[in-house]
Amino acid sequence: QNVTQTVEEEKPEPPTVQEIKQKIEKYNAKVTNCLLMKLNEDGTYTGFIKVHLKLRRPVTVPAGIRPQSIYDALKEVNLAEMTDKRTSFYLPLDAIKQLHISSTTTVSEVIQGLLKKFMVVDNPQKFALFKEMRKDGQVLFQKLPLTEYPLYLRLLAGPDTDLLSFVLKENETGEVEWDAFSIPELQNFLMILDKEEKDKIQQVHRKYERFKQRLQQSLKEARGKPG
């Protein structure tokens, strides 16, 4: 059972550098791969998080643009700016993207970074980052504030993704500012909804057509039986 948790949690006092060092050592001792956290001299630290993509709606990307290469990423080349043409497609459901971030990286920056990696040009306000937790047989989702630091949450929970994982989903809480979208984006969204509606209607028609055929066949067989 999936339960979305909306209650705000009280934030504890910021940990000291020594406390962070101890937490990182404890975290790294549990790591079974090479994805360790590293403490910097200025008290910040870096590490890895994995984000599950659970997007039910298609995203908008540049049309006719090749996938981003390592060279483009290193040179911070924005391929989306090379064309004004747009197209829409579905990202693989529950795909996982691994990110190397800093303790100062916010939820807002994680969302923008994910969209950039997939060359998604949709407004970031259309998306939200959730933390997923498992408790007493339930799957709990809690939407994270844009100013939250995901790496600190990962540090507190430890490397076990069964205890805590991150999920990118559509922002369906009513906080989306539709005025921020362009007219082509809104028109494209309506076209997609119209297509989904027609596909659903066709599925229902096919379902009941098959049921009708089976029922007619049963009636035909029943009439052919004596008595």
Task: Note whether 50 and 97 are within 8 A (CB).
Answer: yes
Residues 6+ apart with CB under 8 A from 131: 141, 142, 144, 153, 164, 165, 166, 167
Q: What is the pLDDT of residue 227?
A: 56
What are the residue ranges spanned by the domains of the chain?
A: 17-170, 178-224
Which among 36, 37, 45, 35 has a CA at the least distance from the CA of 15? 45
Which among 114, 102, 65 has a CA at the least distance from the CA of 87? 65
Q: What is the pLDDT of residue 65?
A: 55
Q: What is the pLDDT of residue 99?
A: 92
Helix axis angle, 17-30 to 150-157, nearest 10° = 60
The C-alpha angle 213, 214, 218, rounded to 5 degrees, equals: 115
Q: What is the pLDDT of residue 138?
A: 80
Helix, strand and coil content of the chain, in percent to the nearest 5, comes to 40, 25, 40
pTM of the model: 0.64
Percent of the chain with pLDDT over 70: 79
d(CA 51, CA 114): 9
Identify the CATH number of the domain defined by range 17-170: 3.10.20.90
Residues 6+ apart with CB under 8 A from 44: 102, 103, 104
Give the amino acid at 5: Q
Q: What is the pLDDT of residue 200?
A: 87
Here the tokens at position 194 are 């119209």
d(CA 222, CA 214): 12
d(CA 193, CA 14): 45
Q: How confident is the chain (227 residues) per 10-residue block, as mean pLDDT?
A: 52 80 95 91 94 86 57 48 68 84 95 87 89 82 92 94 91 62 73 82 90 88 73
Alpha helices in 124-182, H assignment, sequence order: 150-157
Q: What is the pLDDT of residues 179-193, one digit of tens each?
A: 666 677 677 778 877
Q: What is the pLDDT of residue 169?
A: 92
DSSP single-letter state for residue 120: -
In this structure, the chain runs to a length of 227
